[in-house]
Amino acid sequence: MTTRNESLFERARERIPAGVNSPVRAFRAVGGTPPFFERASGAWLLDADGKRYVDYVGSWGPMVLGHTHPQVVEAVQAAAAMALSFGAPTESEIELAEAICRLVPSVEMVRLVSSGTEATMSAIRLARGHTGRSLIVKFEGCYHGHADSLLVKAGSGALTFGHPSSAGVPPETAAHTLVLDFNDIAQVETLFKEKGHQIACVIVEPVAGNMNLVLPKAGFLESLRENCSRHGAVLIFDEVMTGFRVALGGAQARYGIKPDLTTLGKVIGGGLPVGAFGGKRDIMEKIAPLGPVYQAGTLSGNPVAVAAGLATLKLVEEKDFQSKIEKTTRSLVDGLIEEARKAKTVFCAQSIGSMFGLYFRAAPPTSFAEVMQCDKDRFNRFFHAMLERGVYLAPSAYEAGFVSAAHGPTEIDATLAAAREAFKA
């Protein structure tokens, strides 16, 4: 018998490429049919077939409070009753900008946009305009959105010019992007000695979350700050994922390192489309109309999205919020490690803040190459076994997971009970 999820997926594929509006939703990495969700509340999702799931995707990070938090919903409803969009200045934009500048250590000025991709693309353009240089440096396994210059992977060697990892990206565009290994300080030092005077910026996820969760080694972020400062390059922390997740002020607050520019998204929109980039005043004043670097957006600072973001940040700022959610995340990770040990399964896990990573290997990875050593087939079996038992994980072995403030003992216990059986799959 065909389920409603299967019928919807078949219908979607007629009009939407692969039936989804973002590639990972298609379940191609794990196989099978994706559930089509209809409702969400707290830590739970309900699909088109009426099945409930404990959610560890959280709309890929924004739902740090849990789904449909009453105060966020109320703020959105009030804003929508006033207007859906102005395309003109509003006081709420100022309030969100002030909140970001107050909470994120390095941000003196900020501009709102509508997505993380838009934020990183704009930050890189700004870095190039500020320095008058062309080369950018990124790290293999770090994802910064789908702008052309960022869809690049390493060539024949880690220090060679990159080449496109997506059709439609001209080689001459990719040639301005250099790709290094995450956590490799020696590569950073060597590259800056050779090409430091040509490098406009280094962009990095300070805690990588798009090749599963990979933590920075001691000294790695410090080496980026030191080399960028010495050679006049702009250091960009992509905190679209880590912002307000690994600490109230993001990874830069947790590790005590100030980048020159920061990109944000996800949590600052409370589940609605908002992004931002900000940093040092002298750099940000190069943005039009003050300066020569052009950036614009019709829906930037949308009042409904900003209302959701403001309501979310107000709650995230509350005393003990971060410590409580981090403790819950740690209990999940510790429990999964113990269940795997009992099942005699090669498995490890780790967390930081409310982000976590699951790996079917003996020790947590520290680079993209080590992530690729994880047992992908074993993860796929685990994923489907958990899904059958009502636990929704990211449908890929290469994505971080997220816990919300709505997760509690009931959800953690249900997850560990499912894992007890899933590790046997």
Q: What is the pLDDT of residue 157?
A: 32
Q: What is the pLDDT of residue 9?
A: 95
- Please, which residues have CB within 8 angstroms of residue 153's CB and are 6 or more apart in sequence? 140, 162, 163, 165, 179
Task: Spot the catalytic one: 143, 255, 359, 392.
Answer: 143
pLDDT for 29 equals 87
- The rounded distance, in Å, linking the Cα atoms of 349 and 337 is 7
Which of 242, 236, 209 is CA-nearest to residue 224? 236
Annotated catalytic, 238? yes
CATH topology of domain 4-68+319-422: Aspartate Aminotransferase, domain 1 (3.90.1150)
Marked catalytic residue, from 56, 138, 255, 266: 266
In which residue ranges of the chain is CATH 3.40.640.10 found?
70-316
Domain 70-316 has CATH 3.90.1300.10: no
pLDDT digits (tens, 9 = 90+) for 4-22: 999 999 999 999 999 999 8
Known catalytic residue: 398? Answer: no
pLDDT by 10s per residue, the chain, length 425: 889 999 999 999 999 999 999 888 889 889 999 999 999 999 999 999 999 999 999 999 999 999 999 999 999 999 999 999 999 999 999 999 999 999 999 999 999 999 999 999 999 999 999 999 999 999 999 999 888 888 876 332 333 344 457 788 888 888 899 999 999 999 999 999 999 999 999 999 999 999 999 999 999 999 999 999 999 999 999 999 999 999 999 999 999 999 999 999 999 999 999 999 999 999 999 999 999 999 999 999 999 999 999 999 999 999 999 999 999 999 999 999 999 999 999 999 999 999 999 999 999 999 999 999 999 999 999 999 999 999 999 999 999 999 999 999 999 999 999 999 999 98
ω into residue 395 within 30 of 0, thus cis?
no
Angle at 290 between CA 288 and CA 294, to 5 degrees: 15
Q: Where in the chain is the domain with CATH 3.90.1150.10?
A: 4-68+319-422
- Among residues 363, 387, 11, 357, the alpha carbon closest in space to that of 212 is found at 357
> Pick the catalytic residue: 238, 255, 392, 398?
238
Burial of residue 318 (number of CB atoms within 10 Å: 0-12, 13-18, 19+) = exposed
pLDDT in tens, 224-277: 999 999 999 999 999 999 999 999 999 999 999 999 999 999 999 999 999 999
- 266: annotated active-site residue: yes
Separation of alpha carbons 119 and 365, rounded Å? 28
Write down the pLDDT at residue 164.
57
